[in-house]
Structure 1
């Protein structure tokens, strides 16, 4: 057979084999790349976040060794997925806005509802700090009364936190103003008890002793059964077991801030207990802790409630809708009594949250008689809706102590003109 015919007949087979080999090698390369990307996303990405967290904690308290593996319990989302889930972060999907950015409702392709917190890094480095703090905190703790972190996104300049979606929103939207949803006493009591249990876990039962620093109505979320979950851990602090308190910069929301913390910068779990006392009174009365539109003697809720307590008329500040719906007066007064114990002027007199939970569950009158709570003089009024948030979490020496625990806030604690509302 002529040579040219032999060459012509073998050429297509050779070309086919070469093409198959090329496709096989190409497919193998693509598969390897995909596996490497998955490995990066599952292994390397969490380690990079941990390195960032370790760096951010360089001047703060040490994080225990067992913390390093907790990031594996959350998912890592790409920005495009979260953008699609929230309708490109459309304003109609915005659930609220905190000091570091807005929170949006979203829906993943698998049908899960989520809440996406978008941190505003371009405005301040506080956003980066809060992102690291919240991921660090929520991957270290789990409790039915704490909001659950599903995942996060750290892509380019984007920092997003993905939480379980809470159908009934934040507590403040239900207890302030003219909300259509009415919370009866049974529901309100369960909310108060749930918050107390969440704080007990943070202070006493978790592996890490944690102070939240910003317990308030807008940071309490309610699920479909109106069970409360404490949220927003961006300002929370790991607290050394061997220290009574930390001397640190002020963070939190005025009106809920314990006097010793607001005046002298002394932070302990007792600051959260004070905030809980204020919040409990808000839930009972359906009003904010400060309302300057009311007569002077009624403007500051704890002060007004105490005056009624002294006159044996505490029931007068209870939400009128609750009284109309029907309440057991003894039960309401017992919760008010517990709230006043949490507002004691001396932090050592405030009961730990485990005792608070016990008093609420047993429904027996507390043994201790509360003293008059510490009220800040209102000589120089401050808008309590503003948060005092510090970008630095470094320990500092205690500021000079005031001669009186009832003195007004010093000027240096006033928030800057551009302070964001939480």
Structure 2
């Protein structure tokens, strides 16, 4: 399919953007045809980023079409970033890119179609959560962990997602998880390289075009979703793969409890604070989702709570790597350290320091993604 020529001639962008890969470009007319002009009947979901529609290619292949909202905080640079990054990723637990479309007014990403939509539509729904038995939740947790491990260590470059949350984890027909939405992801080099060195390395390896170098600068701002961002990253911009580890810890707690970290207990505390209290009092089984009471092994549940609390440690150096996490989750004989009580949970949980924390957020660096989610 042809790229819409109008985009190339419009002058809206300073220079044409080449993905440097075999990513398919779709013309807008074909996308309108397969979605019924973006009809409500083909709509799969909606968020701050825009709307997702279902479509079918001429050969019968089903696809998911993300139409970015004009009001979305995901601008053209984040859009380019998402397409360029995901096009290079090949892993069973990473969403597969099918193509893209850019016109004067439209920014559209085409993904493989995921029959069961996003994880949050299951774990936070009283009726649908009953479909997730313990074995299925364990498979989802391991899949997410392996997907993150691939991002962090699967190539000569590290990719940090920066917005891991249940709504960005999609489920296929067999309920296998796939990490999606790479609009805020960032690519960095190994070791102690500077950001400039990492960018040059990425370009040399074909991961980034010269235009993507601008994306690297643009995505250096603090971004993410409130409740899944570690406070140290929010307050001082400390940046490493450990910010994804923190987000994974929150998601892990949400999966096994069926409770949402944001607004837990009507905002009087956060899920992390609640879980740590249960941990200290040796009552972590109280956290278990009611639907799991009959099928879950207590010792395995406690182990998963332990791993989650390690992931949300205040000091990034105290958090495990995703390699460590996968080993602890997958190996029954793996030693799981005891977590330290987080000192920050009162601040992010709506307790005494909530007001001062909110003020500090307002004076932080520019957040490129809504703290209430996209």
- Which band: TM-score by shorter chain? 0.7 to 0.9
Alignment match of 2:146 (pick from 181, 197, 204) = 197
TM, length-normalised to structure 1? 0.73
Structure 1 equivalent of residue 96 of structure 2: 148
Conservation of the 8 A alpha-carbon contact between 2:3 and 2:27: no
Give the SS at the match of 1:141.
coil
Q: For 1:225, what is the secondary structure of its paired residue?
A: coil
What's 2:237 paired with? 265
1:96 deviates by 1.9
2:270 to 276, 300, 311: 300
Contact map agreement 1:248 1:267 (CA 8 A) in 2: no
Higher RCO by CA contacts (8 Å cutoff, separation 6 or greater): 2
Q: Distance in 2 between matches of 1:346 and 1:419?
A: 22
Q: What does residue 159 of structure 1 align with? A: 107
Is 1:279 matched up with 2:251? yes
User: Are residues 365 and 323 of structure 1, via their aligned partners in 2, closer, same or farther at CA, if it must alter by over 3 Å?
Assistant: farther
Change (3 A) 1:419 1:306: closer
Deviation of the 1:344 alpha carbon: 1.0
Q: In structure 2, what is the Cα distance between the partners aligned to 1:306 and 1:124?
A: 35
Cα shift at 1:248: 4.4
Distance 1:139 1:352, change over 3 A: same
Structure 2 match to 1:322 = 292
The answer on 1:411 being equivalent to 2:367 is no
Given that 2:68 and 2:106 are in contact with CA atoms closer than 8 Å, whether structure 1 keeps it comes out as: yes
Matched, 1:372 2:341: yes
Tell me the distance in 2 between the aligned counterparts of 1:250 and 1:139.
24
Point out where structure 2 has 5 or more consecutive residues left out of the alignment: 196-218
Equivalents in 1 of 2:315, 2:140: separation in Å? 26
Q: Find the aligned partners of 1:75 and 1:272 in 2 and give their Cα distance.
A: 29
Contact kept, 8 Å, 2:328 with 2:335, in 1: the verdict is yes
Is this contact kept in 2: 1:108–1:114, CA < 8 A?
yes
Question: Following the alignment from structure 1 to structure 2, what is the Cα–Cα distance between the partners of residues 420 and 315?
Answer: 29
The two structures have a TM-score, normalised by structure 2, of: 0.82
SS of the residue corresponding to residue 36 of structure 2 reads coil
CA distance in 2, matches of 1:110, 1:300: 48
Mapped to 2, the partners of 1:245 and 1:217 lie a distance apart of: 32
Show the counterpart of 1:131.
79
Q: State the SS of the aligned residue for 2:246.
A: helix
Q: Give 1:343's match in structure 2, choosing from 267, 291, 312.
A: 312
Give unpaired runs (5+ residues) of structure 1. Answer: 1-36, 55-67, 383-401
Q: Which SS does the other structure have where 1:116 is aligned?
A: strand
Q: Which residue of the partner structure matches residue 211 of structure 1?
A: 160
Go from structure 1 to structure 2 and tell me whether the alpha carbon gap of 1:268 and 1:192 turns closer, same or farther (over 3 Å shift): same
Report how many aligned residue pairs link the two structures.
Answer: 339
Residue 291 (structure 1) aligns with: 263
Are the structure 2 counterparts of residues 53 and 330 from structure 1 closer, same or farther at C-alpha, using a change threshold of 3 Å? farther
Distance 2:31 2:4 in 1: 19
Q: Quick one: distance in 2 between partners of 1:168 and 1:275?
A: 22
Spell out the pairing of 1:357-396 with structure 2 (5 A cutoff): 357-364=326-333, 366-373=335-342, 374-377=344-347, 378=350, 379=352, 381=354
* CA distance in structure 2 between the partners assigned to 1:203 and 1:115 by the alignment: 26
**C-alpha displacement at 1:75, in angstroms?**
1.6
Distance apart, 1:155 and its partner CA = 2.9
- Distance 1:168-1:161 versus aligned 2 partners, 3 A rule: same
Match of 2:221 in 1: 249
CA distance in 2, matches of 1:254, 1:238: 22
Distance 1:376 1:270, change over 3 A: farther
- Per-residue displacement from partner, 1:252-298 (whole Å, max 9, x unpaired)? 001110121011111210000000000000000011113355483xx
CA distance in 2, matches of 1:106, 1:345: 43
**Which residue does the alignment assign to 1:312?**
282
The 2-side partners of 1:269 and 1:53 are apart by 28
Decide which of 29, 33, 52 is 1:84's aligned counterpart. 33
Matching residue of 1:103: 52
